[in-house]
């Protein structure tokens, strides 16, 4: 009777050990396959909580990083457009200076007016610059361009004033929990002076009007220069904001690398050590199964003592 109970107990122990080793073997194989030490929250509750925190922080930073990338593209487009504005206004001033002298005829000034008109058209086109379908000088709105086209019947800066019809509020992006960076400036603040100055120059050249106060060719020299200075100041502002985004981009990339490194230190497996553990478990399971087979093969008569 005692021998029967002992044999039954041994079978239960072997069965339990076999189940345990098989479970540990499956878990270790999963660790090897994924190379992740944490397969379930129960493996390390504290470590799992830390890993989840690092993952959430990485997602938050990546989202902000996407916005910063878009912001850099917008400010880069603004900077390029303002560089062209400066070049156009420089040429407009050259025309004004050249044709303000008395040696030029009405015909030569009319020819110059054609070039001035092309500058005017180019300024309007730059005012409608887009990035990914969004108007960079129109509050990043989609759809209707913020500036009326040169050939539009409503275009007449002398009579109607500003040709801008876009949003009046700038567009900003969040780069940190307590940090915003402005991307846009309403287009009228950037282009109105330049468009009006060149438009008046075009008109003065076409009308052979040299010295009418405020609107003649001579007056256009100062008007264009003032508009050019405004464009230079806006470009300097764009450069400063772009520099802030570039700095923030680097900071966030470093923070993401740091979070992923700390996450890896907690959840990544030491593959060499895990492979050793896997071999040990496989060996232990084989030994246990062999012992179980031997026990099950034992007959009760082997324990009878004659």
Q: Name the residue ranges covered by the structural domains of the chain.
A: 2-35+269-303, 59-262
Q: Per residue in 159-181, pLDDT tens? A: 878 889 999 999 999 999 889 99
The reported pTM is 0.77
| CA end-to-end span of the chain | 16
The CB density around residue 285, as the number of other CB atoms within 10 Å, is: 17
Which of 230, 198, 191, 228 minimizes the C-alpha distance to 215?
198
pLDDT in tens, 35-92: 666 666 676 788 888 888 999 999 999 999 999 999 999 999 999 999 999 999 999 9
What is the percent of the chain with per-residue pLDDT over 90, rounded to a whole number?
Answer: 61
Nearest Cα to 249, choosing from 179, 175, 184? 175
Percent of the chain with pLDDT over 70: 78
User: Which residue matches tokens 């060149």?
Assistant: 198
CA distances from 194 to 140, 150, 166, 293 (A): 21, 14, 17, 95
Q: Could you tell me which CATH number the domain at 59-262 has?
A: 1.20.1330.10
Selection from 125, 126, 116 nearest residue 90 by Cα: 116
Task: Name the residue with tokens 């950037």.
Answer: 190
> Would you state the pLDDT for residue 158?
85
Q: What is the token pair recorded at 245?
A: 């985004």
Phi, psi for 135 (deg, rounded to 5) = -80, 115
């Amino acid at each position: 009777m005692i021998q029967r109970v002992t044999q039954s107990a041994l079978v239960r122990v072997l069965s339990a050990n076999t189940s345990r080793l098989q479970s540990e073997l499956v878990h270790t194989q999963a660790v090897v396959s994924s190379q992740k030490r944490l397969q379930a929250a129960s493996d390390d509750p504290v470590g799992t909580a830390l890993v989840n925190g690092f993952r959430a922080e990485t997602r938050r930073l990546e989202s902000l990083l996407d916005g910063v990338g878009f912001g850099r593209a917008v400010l880069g487009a603004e900077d390029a457009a303002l560089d062209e504005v400066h070049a156009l206004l420089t040429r407009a001033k050259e025309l004004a200076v050249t044709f303000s002298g008395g040696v030029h005829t009405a015909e030569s000034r009319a020819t110059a007016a054609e070039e001035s008109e092309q500058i005017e058209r180019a300024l309007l086109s730059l005012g409608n610059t887009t990035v990914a379908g969004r108007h960079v000088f129109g509050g990043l709105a989609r759809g209707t361009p913020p500036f009326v086209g040169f050939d539009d019947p409503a275009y007449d800066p002398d009579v109607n004033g500003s040709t801008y019809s876009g949003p009046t509020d700038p567009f900003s992006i969040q780069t940190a929990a307590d940090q915003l960076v402005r991307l846009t400036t309403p287009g009228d603040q950037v282009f109105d002076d330049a468009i009006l100055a060149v438009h008046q120059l075009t008109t003065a050249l076409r009308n052979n009007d040299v010295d009418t106060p405020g609107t003649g060719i001579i007056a256009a020299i100062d008007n264009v220069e003032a508009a050019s200075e405004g464009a230079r100041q806006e470009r300097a502002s764009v450069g400063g904001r772009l520099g802030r985004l570039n700095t923030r981009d680097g900071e966030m990339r470093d923070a993401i690398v740091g979070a992923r490194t700390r996450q890896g230190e907690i959840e990544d497996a030491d593959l060499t050590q895990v492979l050793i553990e896997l071999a040990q478990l496989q060996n232990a399971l084989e030994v246990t199964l062999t012992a179980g087979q031997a026990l099950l093969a034992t007959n009760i008569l082997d324990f009878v003592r004659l």
